[in-house]
Amino acid sequence: MNKQEINKAIIYDEIGIASIQARVLKELISKTGDKSFIKQEIFICDKEKVYGIVVLNEPHILDLTQFKNHSSRHFCTEEGRENIWPGVNKFNAFSFRIKKIFKEPLQYTYMGEEQLAIGKFVEGVTIMKENIDYADVSKAISIIEYEDRLETLKTIEVEDEDKELQKLFLELYELFLKRFTEKARHDPAEDERRRRARERARRRRQNA
């Protein structure tokens, strides 16, 4: 990657970033919903380093009750919400897809005008490295996508004469998914890295 094309980012906290790395965080929270950041590759950063690249989906608007109900998806406590966004009662919750996770976080230079703050969208982020080493997350992400599709397919209503065909299709799909998963998750070192990241995220949530 010699030419950087991405310069947009969302700033997040240590717990959130560790949870993204562990593949357990489901939503990113911001008090703003800048449309220019949706459906594009953006960096996920703290105030010093870049940790990877995500693609945001259209946000859901949460009031305070919904924010609390979504805590298992975004991991932000009520105390954390009051500290980060005092007086705010409407939030944008972005589901997202991980594109890349850097094996080592990268220092970046920020040339934007906005003040860096948690949940803030910014432009002007530049990473100072020519050869970036990415973790291979493509197979893991594909597994998640295929699992989601399977659950969707199971909910589709078909005519009686097509039920046997649907049953056969779902059985073949599940067999493919099982074999695909076994092949994709064969790296013990990667499994151990993810287990440790999940454990760190769990401990941080408990101490938050």
By the 8 A CB rule, do 56 and 22 touch? no
Which one has a higher pLDDT value, 129 or 168? 168
Given this model, what pLDDT does residue 64 score?
A: 94
Torsion of CA 141, 146, 150, 153, to 10 degrees: 110
Res 40 pLDDT > 50: yes
Over residues 5-19, mean pLDDT: 85
Given this model, what pLDDT does residue 36 score?
A: 80
Which of 61, 12, 79, 6 lies closest to 36, judged by CA? 6
Question: 33: which 2 tokens?
Answer: 């919903």
By the 8 A CB rule, do 194 and 22 touch? yes
Residue type, 127: I
Give CA–CA dist 106/168, Å, rounded: 48
Which one has a higher pLDDT value, 126 or 35? 126
Question: 38: which 2 tokens?
Answer: 């949706």
Which one has a higher pLDDT value, 68 or 3? 68
Given this model, what pLDDT does residue 135 score?
A: 52
Res 71 pLDDT > 70: yes
Lowest mean pLDDT across 63-67, 185-189, 204-208: 185-189
Which one has a higher pLDDT value, 35 or 43? 43
By the 8 A CB rule, do 10 and 34 touch? no
Q: Where in the chain is the domain with CATH 2.30.130.30?
A: 8-135
By the 8 A CB rule, do 94 and 28 touch? yes
CATH number for the domain formed by residue range(s) 8-135:
2.30.130.30
Q: What average pLDDT does the chain have? A: 78
What share of the chain has pLDDT > 70, as a percent?
A: 71
Res 136 pLDDT > 50: no
